Amino acid sequence: MKTTMRLFTVCLTILIVPAIAAAKIKTKNLASTTQQTASIAFDPAGLPHAAYQGTDYGLYHARFDGKIWQREKIDDTQYYGNSIAIDSQGRIHIVYGAERINGTATYQLMHAYYNGGSWQLTALLSEEGNPKFNPRIALDAAGRPRVLFLENAGYRYATYNGTSWQFEDTGLPWGWYSDGFALDAAGHAHVCYSVNYSGSFYATNASGSWVATQLSDGSAGATAIDLDAAGRPRVVTAEGGVLILHSFDGANWSHETMLDFSDAAPGITALFEPHIAMEIDENGRPRIMSGLYLTSGTGYANTAAFVFDNGVFWNALLVDRKGGFYPDIALDRQGDAVVTYCGALKGGNTTKTKWARIILPDLTGTWAQLELNGSTVAGTLHITNQGLDKSGKARVTLWLSDDAILDDTDTELPEFLRLKSLKPGAMVSLPVELTSAGAIAGRYLIAVIDPDFIVPDSSWADNLVPALLNP
């Protein structure tokens, strides 16, 4: 087997946690670009917008109209990353680092603003010899922009008060890998970053000054941040081949290993790329886009992976076997993800910026007309696909339990049901008739939809369907 095919097979194998089938994710080209970040956000109508750097090093804006991307050039230069945000009125803000050469190199922190009729470009800072790296933008409750960005000396923070911009040094040290930035409802900043040989950190200015907390030590890696519905930070860090979720409950931090690819297979080394992106859905569950770098001897592969919490365990789905650089993610009104990332480099240091809408099935069930006659049970199990993607074929196993919770003390029955593929919104009714060897009145019959994890279900918690057996 060729090295590339072998590594592709490895990608398919290890990006299934637990052993679920890879979702059929359709990736499409957004634009031909240089190898720079493409950022994405939704407008009030629920349509995605992206900012990206073209092959001519200009800054472009693209709007998806439901069928195709409508593209426009905003600035002739954009060099050190970009970030996009859209307010409740549909007004667009893009911040980006620019390098303009007129005899000497002038580095600028730029703000592009679309007011509904035209673009306004403003150089917020303009200096020689001090590039403005990786700017991040967020809007406060009034729709005013806040910007976190890197300079040679470390992180700086810019705020717009409605008439002018104010700048401050945060005192946070320079980080190499991807960082994260979010605002809470009160306008307080929440930041994550990493420092080589010192680990990953979280910082906030909620107290009036910047206070940093170390989340992990050792080698630096990619970080991303978002806030839950209560405004509490969730930080994901990539440490080698391990993804770790750091959660703050208002008093203390907890740390959870989400996925561990460090021992994926003998002879295979897995390493997360230095950029990841995360958003938290309305159920408080992280959705993460990342790149994974795999090596085996002299062979290697770069893949794009989507990581999500289905309410019971963590899943990783293969999005693209070629690429995964500089990812970004945004969630639509239904909580489904739209992602952007860069594919593998081509000649001339150019690449394709790709995008994908990741929609998942969601199987759930209800019992109907369940009757108990002695030790015989008869009824109907209705199974519905509440998700937006077609589900695959699966099994349904049946268990007897003393309570409504499935655990290792429960008894699996020899009978099982076969579930066909269901389109979004479709329902199937499966007849159930079984006889137990002993008395079962007062016990629970639990149906487990897809116990083999064949379907990449967005919410596996509702795959368990208990019913109390009453005579």
Residue-wise pLDDT tens for the chain (471 aa)?
A: 333 333 333 343 444 333 334 456 888 999 888 877 899 999 999 999 999 999 899 999 999 998 999 999 999 998 889 999 999 999 999 999 999 988 788 999 999 999 989 999 999 999 988 889 999 999 999 999 999 999 988 999 999 999 999 999 999 998 767 899 999 999 999 999 998 878 999 999 999 999 999 999 877 789 999 999 999 999 999 988 899 999 999 999 999 999 888 766 677 788 888 899 999 998 899 999 999 888 887 787 788 999 999 988 898 888 988 888 899 999 998 888 999 999 876 666 778 899 999 999 999 999 999 999 888 999 999 999 999 899 999 999 999 999 999 998 999 999 999 999 999 999 999 999 998 887 789 999 999 999 988 888 999 989 999 999 987
Sequence spans of domains, the chain? 3-358, 363-468
Q: What backbone phi and psi angles, to 5 degrees, belong to 433?
A: -145, 120
pTM: 0.89
CB within 8 A of 254, min separation 6: which ones?
A: 246, 247
How confident is the model at residue 347, as a pLDDT? Answer: 65
- CB burial of residue 231 (10 Å; 0-12, 13-18, 19+): middle
The structure tokens listed for 293 are 């770098």
Query: Comparing C-alpha atoms, which of 257, 286, 260 is closest to residue 272?
Result: 260
Neighbour count for residue 327 (Cβ, 10 Å): 30
How confident is the model at residue 114, as a pLDDT? Answer: 97
**Domain 3-358 sits in which CATH superfamily?**
YVTN repeat-like/Quinoprotein amine dehydrogenase (2.130.10.10)
How confident is the model at residue 292, as a pLDDT? Answer: 87
How confident is the model at residue 94, as a pLDDT? Answer: 98
CB within 8 A of 260, min separation 6: which ones?
A: 241, 242, 243
What is the C-alpha to C-alpha distance for residues 224 and 243, in angstroms, rounded to an integer? 11
What is the C-alpha to C-alpha distance for residues 81 and 132, in angstroms, rounded to an integer? 9
How confident is the model at residue 110, as a pLDDT? Answer: 97
What is the C-alpha to C-alpha distance for residues 22 and 15, in angstroms, rounded to an integer? 8
* Identical fold between 3-358 and 363-468: no
Hey, which bits of 297-362 come out as E strands? 299-309, 314-320, 325-331, 337-342, 350-358
Dihedral in degrees, nearest 10, Cα atoms 9, 10, 16, 22: -20
Task: Characterize 184-207 residue by residue with b for buried, 16 or more Cβ atoms within 10 angstroms of its Cβ, and e for exposed.
Answer: beebbbbbbbbbeeebbbbbbbee
What is the C-alpha to C-alpha distance for residues 35 and 54, in angstroms, rounded to an integer? 9
Tell me which fold the domain 363-468 belongs to: Immunoglobulin-like (2.60.40)
CB within 8 A of 301, min separation 6: which ones?
A: 4, 7, 8, 10, 11, 293, 294, 321, 322
What is the C-alpha to C-alpha distance for residues 42 and 463, in angstroms, rounded to an integer? 31
What is the C-alpha to C-alpha distance for residues 418 and 295, in angstroms, rounded to an integer? 39
How confident is the model at residue 23, as a pLDDT? Answer: 59
